Amino acid sequence: MADALISIMDDAAVRTVTVNRPDKLNALNRATLEALDTAFSAAAADPAVRVVVLTGAGPRAFVAGADIAEMNGLSAVQGRDFSLLGQRLMRRIERMPKPVIGKINGFALGGGLELAMACHLRVASETAKVGQPEINLGLMPGFGGSQRLLRLCGRAAALELCLLGTPITAARAAQLGIVTEVVPAAELDARVQALASQLASAAPLALRGILDAIHIGGECPLGEGLEYESVQFGLMFATEDMREGTSAFLARRPPVFQNR
C-alpha cells in the first residue's frame, strides 16, 4: 500500500514503513506525521505484523528533519501544537507492543533523529550522520529530542548535540548509544532484514512484556520497575508460548511460537 507521503510493504510478519518524500529529504510536515501515526496505529493492531522497520526513501536521508517551509509560518500556539503532534507520534512508536527497527540510511537530523530515537533498535549506515541542528534555525528540539538524548547518552552528550547543533558520524553516535549498530552501506538492508527475521520468530508476548517492562520501568523508581517486571514475568507462565519455548529447549528443537 502507498500514498504520496509514506509507503507500506509487508514481507511475512515484517512490515516496512517508509517516509516517501525523497525530493524533500523525507522532511516531516504535519501531514506526514499524521500519516505515520495512522500507519503505526494500524501496525500495532494487526496480528499478522510482528516487527516494524522504519526507514526513508532515497539514498540520501532517513529523515533530514521537520519541514522548515511549513514551520516558518507558524505562530507560537501553532508551534506548540506541531510539537505535540510530533511527540504523540514518537510516543506511539516508543510504546509500540512490537519491536520497531529504525533503518538509518542517510541523514537523521532534527525531527529525523527524534524519529529514529523513538525506535527500539537503530541500525545505521556507516555513511549516515545524525544530529539536532535546530539551534541553527533559532529553534530547539520539539519532538522529544532533548529528553531522549538525555536518557540515551547522558547530559553531556545531549547538551553538546543540542547546543552546538553539529551533526556527528554514525560511528560516534554508536559510541554514545544513540544508534545500536553501524554497518557498511551495502550491508544495511541485509542486516536489518536479519534482525527483523530474528525478532519475527521470537515469542511475541514475551517481546511485548520486555518492551513494556523497559519503558515503564525507565519512567518510575527502581522498586516499582522491579515489581512490574515480576508481574509481567509471572504472566508469561500463563501463555502457551512459554510452554512451547521451555519444552522446545528441553527437547533440543527450535520453538514455534503462536502468540498465545
Catalytic positions, please?
114, 134
Closest CA to 159 of 184, 135, 127, 126: 135
The interaxial angle of helices 111-118 and 145-153, nearest 10 deg, is: 50
Amino acid letter at 174? A
If one counts every other C-beta atom within 10 angstroms of the C-beta of residue 242, the result is: 17
Sign of CA dihedral 13, 34, 65, 113: negative
Q: Which cell numbers in the block locate residue 242?
A: 512459554
Walk across the sheet containing 107-109 and list its strands: 61-63, 107-109, 129-131, 168-169
Walk across the sheet containing 100-104 and list its strands: 6-11, 14-19, 51-56, 100-104, 121-125, 181-183
Query: How far apart are alpha carbons 38 and 257 in whole angstroms?
Result: 28
| Ramachandran category for residue 97: left, alpha or beta (phi over 0 → left; psi -120 to 50 → alpha) | alpha
- Residue pair 165/108 in contact (Cβ under 8 Å)? The answer is no
Query: How far apart are alpha carbons 208 and 32 in whole angstroms?
Result: 27
